[in-house]
Every structure is written in structure tokens, then in C-alpha cells.
């Protein structure tokens, strides 16, 4: 068996690219061969290389299992997910819900004027013309909506 060490080393290193791991597998293979009991084979070298291939396949399976386990145990920080970002997302969702509820509770005209001004970016004069009211009245509707939103955000 010892005379096959260089060929086995080349076999494992070629597939693993790691001489230390290759040496470990050779040792495992020698132990398996030394403890096996069974009928003699006509082609001992072929038998040993088949056993080496099986040992290598087992190693690949162990490595894959270890990798899957490590991936399943990865924390958010390991994956690049910032837990603060998750908190900010939750806070933002709650804020959006609060804004939506508050806007829903406003009088229709106030809500429409606020949405046109703040969300659609429409000019106060254009809003006044569309509703047939003065620019001052548009500003009062916007101010009322802002007060309601600030009060709601202060309560939450």
C-alpha cells in the first residue's frame, strides 16, 4: 500500500487542491484497507483506487452538508442584513399607516388639496383654480392637514 502513496496523493490533490486534506484521506484509506476483511481481489490497485474514489465522494458529501449547515446558521449580520434597517422598515410602515389613517380622517376637500400639493407637486394657484377657491383657502387646507398629521405622528 505504501508504494501507492504517491499515486494516491496525486489522485486526491488533483481533485481537492489541498495536500493536507489529501494526506488525511490517504490515512483514512489506509485505515479502511487495513481493517477490511474479505476475499482477495485480482486487481488490488483498481480496488484501492475505487475505494479512494468512494472516500472522496464521501468527503464531498460531508463538505456539502457542512456548508448547508453553516448557511442555515448564518445570522442576519453574516448575510449583510442590517437589523437596524429592519427596524427602520417597520417604523416606516407604521408611519405610512398612520399617515394613511390620518389622511383618511380628513375632510375630502382638505385631503384632496393636501395630496395634490404634497404628493402630486401641484402649485397652490393651480389647486385654487381647480377647486374655485382662493390661494389663501388652499394654504389653510394644507395647514390643517399638516397639523393633523403632526398631531397623529406625535401621538404614535
- Specify the pTM: 0.46
pLDDT at 152 exceeding the cut of 70: yes
Counting beta carbons within 10 angstroms of the beta carbon of residue 8, is it exposed (0 to 12), middle (13 to 18) or buried (19 or more)? buried
CA 22 remoteness from chain centre: 34
Q: Which CATH class is domain 88-155?
A: mainly alpha
Query: Residue 45 has what pLDDT?
Result: 86
What radius of gyration, in Å, describes the C-alpha atoms of the chain?
37
Residue 28 to residue 52: CA distance in whole angstroms: 9
> pLDDT digits over 40-90, tens only?
778 888 888 899 999 999 988 998 898 888 777 666 556 666 666 777 778
Question: Which pLDDT band holds residue 137 (cuts at 50, 70, 90)?
Answer: very high
> pLDDT digits over 92-124, tens only?
788 888 888 999 999 999 999 999 999 889 999
Residues 55 and 32: beta-carbon distance below 8 Å = yes
Query: Residue 80 has what pLDDT?
Result: 65
Residue 108 to residue 120: CA distance in whole angstroms: 16
Residue 83 to residue 89: CA distance in whole angstroms: 10
* Listed residue (58, 3, 7) closest to 28, CA to CA: 58
Domain ranges for the chain: 2-72, 88-155
Amino acid at each position: 500500500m505504501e508504494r501507492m502513496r504517491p499515486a494516491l496523493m496525486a489522485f486526491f490533490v488533483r481533485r481537492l487542491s489541498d495536500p493536507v486534506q489529501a494526506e488525511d484521506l490517504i490515512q483514512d484509506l489506509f485505515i479502511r484497507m487495513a481493517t477490511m476483511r474479505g476475499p482477495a481481489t485480482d486487481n488490488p490497485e483498481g480496488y484501492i483506487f475505487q475505494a479512494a474514489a468512494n472516500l472522496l465522494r464521501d468527503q464531498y458529501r460531508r463538505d456539502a452538508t457542512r456548508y448547508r449547515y453553516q448557511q442555515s446558521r448564518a445570522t442576519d449580520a453574516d448575510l449583510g442584513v442590517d437589523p437596524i434597517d429592519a427596524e427602520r422598515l417597520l417604523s416606516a410602515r407604521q408611519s405610512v399607516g398612520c399617515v394613511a389613517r390620518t389622511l383618511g380622517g380628513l375632510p375630502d376637500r382638505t385631503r384632496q388639496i393636501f395630496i395634490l400639493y404634497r404628493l402630486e407637486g401641484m402649485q397652490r394657484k393651480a389647486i385654487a383654480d381647480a377647486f374655485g377657491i382662493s390661494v389663501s383657502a388652499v394654504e389653510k387646507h394644507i395647514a390643517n392637514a399638516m397639523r393633523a398629521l403632526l398631531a397623529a405622528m406625535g401621538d404614535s
